[in-house]
A and B are shown apart, each in its own frame.
Chain A
Amino acid sequence: NSELFTLTYGALVAQLIKDYENVEDVNKQLERMGYNIGIRLIEDFLARTGSGRCYDFRDTAEKIQSGFKIFLGITPSITNWSPAGDEFSLCFETNPLTEFVELPDNCSNLKYCNILTGVLRGACEMVQMEIACWFVQDQLKNDNVTELRVKFVKRLEDAIPAGED
């Protein structure tokens, strides 16, 4: 059930805030945890979908979208492509992570869902893509949608260990 997930995540964030005090550190820690999850979650994704390599970055965007469908049961929309085609946004109408969540005023710098940026970065790194991603809008901060910006940085070469090609 998604509520167990939501509440577990909430308990984790609350604990981090208690432990760190500095909100920036909490953001960082969440990103790191997400990264650890991402590098393992990608295996699951590839095994379930049987999808091959991404053809281009648009293809990547669609696969990320389907990943959200598989794992969180939501379909963010893909919008705001940059002219060069190396940046896009994922817009979330609803987000299982933020159900029941209300940010107190003293947490205005907290990126509550920052774990997602880590997950995406970790997962993409495992398929030899370095990406950067960050939140530009957040429903918890009274924006209409939650917007996650994803940017292609570079292809990672030589990531295959010797003897495994």
Chain B
Amino acid sequence: MSSITISAIRPRTSILDKSLSKGKGEVSLSCFALLFSELVQYCQNRVYTVPELQNKLAEMGAEIGHRITDLLVMREKNGKREIKLLNVLLFVKSTMWKSLFGREADKLEHANDDERTYYIIEKESLVNKFVSVPKDKGSLNCASFVAGIVEAVLCDCGFPAKVTAHWHKGTTYMVKFDDAVVARDKQLEDR
């Protein structure tokens, strides 16, 4: 007996019908490095200055950040989001870093002189590993890309912040939270 066709159109299987991947797949480092290099070159061809290039890289990073937030919260945190400032930073430093780069970031520090500012420090950043900075572009830091990811993750979690990448003890990401974020966190602590 032949099967009965009710509809001529095969139903579109939506991405939401599939189960969430475990995220254990691996690709070779060379693949990522070469893809990233193409991405940087592409960005470079469309901008004139180093800060513009870094902004562009950060924008591309943000695209990743927006997507990774929900994915990680669902997969690693049982759908629960962090509401405390310190916890969200630890989430970035541990969970996010581990799932993207295979290990945690090296250090998380709080600035002594400014309660809004935190630093995430990484001795050897994956994106800088294969980059040799040309002399005429001394301040260039491809870690802006990662800074973009971090910024998007923090903002999506409800902690608006500005994240920038710097050369300091390796690669340092400076996280500057909005005043409102710090004030809110204080309120939480007082209760």
Contacts and interface: CB of A to CB of B under 8 A. Distances in A.
Interface in B41-58: 41-42, 46
B63 A99 contact: no
A11 interface: yes
A142 B102 CA distance: 33
A102 B15 CA distance: 6
A33 B60 CA distance: 17
Interface residues of B, number: 34
Nearest to A44: B30
A15 B60 contact: yes
Nearest to B68: A7
The dominant DSSP class at the A interface is helix
Nearest to B59: A15
B36 interface: yes
B134 interface: no
A81 interface: no
B15 to A, nearest CB: 4
B100 A142 contact: no
A55 B15 CA distance: 42
Given A4-B32, A19-B46, A71-B27, A11 B15 contact: no
Given A3-B99, A7-B68, A142 B25 contact: no
Contacts of A2: 23, 25-27
Contacts of A156: none
B42 A12 contact: yes
Contact of A72 (B21, B28, B102): B28
A7 B72 CA distance: 13
A66 to B, nearest CB: 12
20 contacts: A1-B26, A2-B23, A2-B26, A2-B27, A4-B101, A7-B63, A7-B67, A9-B35, A10-B67, A12-B42, A15-B59, A15-B63, A33-B38, A37-B35, A37-B38, A40-B34, A44-B28, A73-B27, A100-B15, A100-B67
Interface of B: 10, 12-15, 21, 23, 25-28, 30-32, 34-36, 38-39, 41-42, 46, 59-61, 63-64, 67-68, 71, 99-102
